[in-house]
Structure 1
Amino acid sequence: MPDQRPVNPYVVLAIAIVLPGAGHVIAGMPARGLVFVFFMLLFGWITFHLTTPDQTLLGRYAGGVFIYAISITDAYKWARLRWEQYAASK
């Protein structure tokens, strides 16, 4: 059975920006995407309850936004790695 061509890393990047966790799913790592979504929600909830109401929206959910930013770069990194491995094997 021939190796299946991986999804272009830029497509994974765009999807990861729009839908948190979906970039990992498209890249073939659904469990990793689910873990990132769980921690986005968890840290968003924690920072929401640790801050005061006079904070900005970004400040209230800073923990979740931080994990979201990490998940975008992580999805792109793994998609790029799979893309390069596929290209080297051909």
Structure 2
Amino acid sequence: MNASPAERKPLNPYLVLAIAIVLPGMGHVAVGQPQRGFMFAMFTLLLSLLTWQISAPERSFIGRTAIGLFVWALSIPDAYRIARTQWEVWKRKHPS
């Protein structure tokens, strides 16, 4: 018999952190918030493309995609916070 999603052990927050660092928005998908993850991924992409178009060609890759990278950087602690909260709630409900 399978446990309901609310009773399954959540992913380790450090695993979610690693996923969020590697792929924008995927940390949110891993914690069960795909819409939020999709929005972070889309804003990362769109704002990166926007800054790529308006920045000077002699700028570095990081400089040309800075706003998108900033959104990505904001999504990382957000996904970790959600994962950590889910982890702590699950631990309180299932003491060892």
TM-score norm. by structure 2 comes to 0.87
Pair 1:79-2:79 in alignment = no
Deviating above 4 A after TM superposition, structure 1's stretches of 4 or more consecutive aligned residues are none
Report the structure number with the largest CA radius of gyration: 2
Matches within 5 A, 1:22-41: 22-41=26-45
- Give the distance between the partners of 1:71 and 1:85, measured in 2 at CA: 21
| Equivalent position to 1:49, from 53, 56, 69 | 53
Please state how far the C-alpha of 1:4 moved relative to its aligned partner. 1.1
- Provide the C-alpha distance between the structure 1 equivalents of 2:81 and 2:54, rounded to a whole number of angstroms: 32
1:11-57 Cα deviation digits (max 9, x unpaired): 00111111221111111111110000010011101111121101111
Aligned to 2:70: 66
Percent pairwise identity: 47
C-alpha separation between the residues in 2 aligned to 1:22 and 1:56? 26
Q: Which runs of 5+ in 2 are unaligned?
A: none
Structure 1, unmatched stretches of 5+, are none
- The equivalences for 1:7-22 within 5 A come to 7-22=11-26
Paired with 2:51 and 2:23, the residues of 1 have a C-alpha distance of 21
Displacement of 1:87: 1.0
